[in-house]
Amino acid sequence: MTSLQEALDAAADDPASPAWDFIWQESCHQGTCDPASADLLPWLARTCANFSCQDRERAVVLAGFIAVDADDKSRGLYAEDIATLRALTLECLASGASSDTTFVYLQQAILGFDGDEVWGKELDRINDGEVDVQCPACDEDLLIDLQTGDSSIEPGLSSQLATRLNAEALRLGHESVATTLTYLFGRVSCPECGATFNLADEVASHPR
């Protein structure tokens, strides 16, 4: 059986190594990272610095997931490494993400490094293409389509964060992401009771 140290050595030598799968599995389970995985942040900072922007994309996304689930003590202890990883992720964004999906994950990683416990974990709903929420007025379960713009959505940007993410996506040539952000941060009309509400607020109130 591969040890974690063997996997770290193999992964540091090759950004495409299967060892990265092992590291992900050891660190994160069902969307949540073990707080002890924060000990990997210094290694991730060193390793990512040695990779090209495109080669480090997956690694910085992992680091973002780890950082957002780290406890306050670990975030303080590894603050310098988190700052380094954030800067390396910004380089990935600026140089051109390999796909729209990866672009969203990179934006989410930045939020994870910033300690945003909601959107550092929930922004990739954009990649899922749909959001399930409850109407806050009548509790009706709603499945909202983000891919083509559900007819119940009035597009918008309901927060400063949404405006920033949308502007970044437009500036860096990810127009479809920018459009989907206006759906995620728009207003929804409930087909059952007619109430309108901010979709992002309901996502934030009931995270996965």
Report the number of distinct structural domains present in the chain: 2
Of 74, 105, 122, the position where a domain reaches its end is: 122
> What's residue 127's pLDDT?
96
Q: What is the pTM of this model?
A: 0.95
CB 166 within 8 A of CB 204: no
Shared-domain flag, residues 173 and 108: no
Shared-domain flag, residues 129 and 94: no
Q: What are the CA-CA distances from residue 49 to residues 91, 152, 161, 169 (Å)?
A: 11, 44, 27, 24
Q: How far apart are CA 192 and CA 167, in angstroms?
A: 33
On the question of pLDDT at 1 being above 70, the answer is no
On the question of pLDDT at 195 being above 70, the answer is yes
> What's residue 26's pLDDT?
92
pLDDT tens digit string along 109-120?
A: 999 999 999 999
On the question of pLDDT at 188 being above 90, the answer is yes
pLDDT tens digit string along 14-47?
A: 999 999 999 999 999 878 899 999 999 999 999 9
Q: Which of 26-30, 98-102, 128-132 has the lowest mean pLDDT?
A: 26-30
> What's residue 206's pLDDT?
86
Shared-domain flag, residues 138 and 115: no
> What's residue 78's pLDDT?
98
> What's residue 129's pLDDT?
93
Of 122, 156, 185, the position where a domain reaches its end is: 122
Of 66, 100, 122, the position where a domain reaches its end is: 122
pLDDT tens digit string along 40-96?
A: 999 999 999 999 999 999 999 999 999 999 999 999 999 999 999 999 999 999 999
- Please give the residue range of the domain that contains residue 96: 4-122
pLDDT tens digit string along 171-183?
A: 999 999 999 999 9
Shared-domain flag, residues 132 and 199: yes
Q: What are the CA-CA distances from residue 103 to residues 109, 139, 145, 160 (Å)?
A: 10, 33, 20, 19
Shared-domain flag, residues 136 and 76: no
